[in-house]
Amino acid sequence: MGLGGPARYFVHARDEAAVAAALAWARARSLPLQALGSGSNIVVADEGVPALVVKIDLRGISAREVGGAVELTAGAGEPWDDLVRASVERGWAGLECLSGIPGLVGATPIQNVGAYGQDVSATVTVVRALDTHDGSIQTLSNRDCGFAYRDSRFRSGEPGRFLVLAVTYRLAPGGTPTIRYADVIEHLGSRGVASATLADVRESVIAIRRSKSMVLDANDPNRRSCGSFFTNPIVSAAAADRAAAGEPGSTMPRWPEHDGRVKLSAAWLIEHAGFARGHDAGPVGLSTRHALAIVARDGARASDVVAFARRLQMAVEERFGVRLEVEPVFWGTTLGRA
């Protein structure tokens, strides 16, 4: 978002030894430690971060065949979309719908990154991580990660405990692409694609994301954002019915979950609470292409973003009785959460 103040201390870690040394240095001085990837999903406080920030830049990619599948391992500092592109080019299914997402490999298990019918919890087999409690290297299985919708043990279960060093994904060589979302089906149809390949799905997903300003583009006026600022709320069926009653005469999007709850569209709720795409709130506002993206403009501060996010939350909760949860990570002692 191009916002926020400086780190008190900063180190660029290019190997595991540097990450371990940074942890030891911070512990010896009773300093908190924060791991930074590409920063695409972080809001930093205006006054900065009173911690040692470690820029994780561990690289390296390897693959091996295991029981008819491919286990693809990548360092936490590898650019995510480069890894997705490489897997698609090799005909390995499992990540194609996650094309075009900015960020690094290390962030994917933390947030359980997902889009258009896929999320990494379906493919992650192992996360290699540094345990900040005792400085040991841990090998965490999929079950150990505590994955949930846009969440994991790393994000909400024990935030800050583990520094992700590498991730292994189990992919299907020669597998068929995942085609579940209406947007993807419609876009493939508009291109005349009857039997889609992994590459076809990747191309359509990137085009859809670009149309919503959800890819990095230096020429896009909506570029200074974290992408989706809120997750789609998952509520009880009764709460979904009450939310629908808040906008009589309209068809509220709702998708049933396996546990009987219902997923709602955060973007729809925001727009029907009175905030259209392109809504202007001074130095911040909504993207002109997607109601879920809060965009920072010249002169914006992190405090402006937080204040606007709170306005959106309050308006949606007042109108529909649904609390929107923020998706990006907030850094800084006084920034708080929206």
| pLDDT at residue number 249 | 80
Task: Judge whether residue 223 has pLDDT over 80.
Answer: yes
Catalytic option among 99, 121, 228, 287: 228
327 is catalytic: yes
C-alpha span between 98 and 165 (Å, rounded)? 20
Structural domains in the chain plus CATH codes = 7-56 (3.30.43.10), 61-173 (3.30.465.10), 234-331 (3.90.78.10)
Residue pair 226/41 in contact (Cβ under 8 Å)? The answer is yes
- Going from the C-alpha of 289 to that of each of 108, 130, 176, 233, 253, the distances in angstroms are 25, 39, 31, 21, 19
Location of structure tokens 């490489």: 86
The single-letter DSSP state of residue 143 is G
| pLDDT at residue number 332 | 83
In DSSP terms, 284 is beta-bridged to: 281, 296
Catalytic option among 150, 155, 202, 209: 150
pLDDT, tens digit (0-9, with 9 covering 90-100), for 228-242: 999 999 999 999 999
Q: What average pLDDT is seen over the chain?
A: 94
**Other CB atoms closer than 10 Å to residue 253's CB: what's the count?**
11
3-state secondary structure at position 178: coil
Residue pair 266/232 in contact (Cβ under 8 Å)? The answer is yes
pTM, full prediction: 0.89
155 is catalytic: no
Task: Judge whether residue 334 has pLDDT over 70.
Answer: no
C-alpha span between 57 and 104 (Å, rounded)? 9
228 is catalytic: yes
pLDDT, tens digit (0-9, with 9 covering 90-100), for 176-204: 999 999 999 999 999 999 999 999 999 99
pLDDT, tens digit (0-9, with 9 covering 90-100), for 125-143: 999 999 999 999 999 999 9
| pLDDT at residue number 333 | 55
- Sequence-ordered list of residues with C-beta below 8 angstroms from that of 322, at least 6 positions apart, any chain: 233, 235, 239, 243, 264, 269, 316
C-alpha span between 170 and 72 (Å, rounded)? 6
In DSSP terms, 62 is beta-bridged to: 73
Task: Judge whether residue 314 has pLDDT over 60.
Answer: yes
Tell me what the mean pLDDT of segment 14-42 comes to: 95
C-alpha span between 223 and 294 (Å, rounded)? 10
Location of structure tokens 């909760």: 317
Catalytic option among 78, 96, 203, 327: 327
pLDDT, tens digit (0-9, with 9 covering 90-100), for 259-294: 999 999 999 999 999 999 999 999 999 999 999 999
| pLDDT at residue number 146 | 97
| pLDDT at residue number 145 | 98
Residue pair 7/22 in contact (Cβ under 8 Å)? The answer is no
| Positive or negative torsion for Cα 12, 18, 19, 24 | negative
What is the rounded end-to-end Cα distance, in angstroms, of the chain?
16
Tell me what the mean pLDDT of segment 240-246 comes to: 93
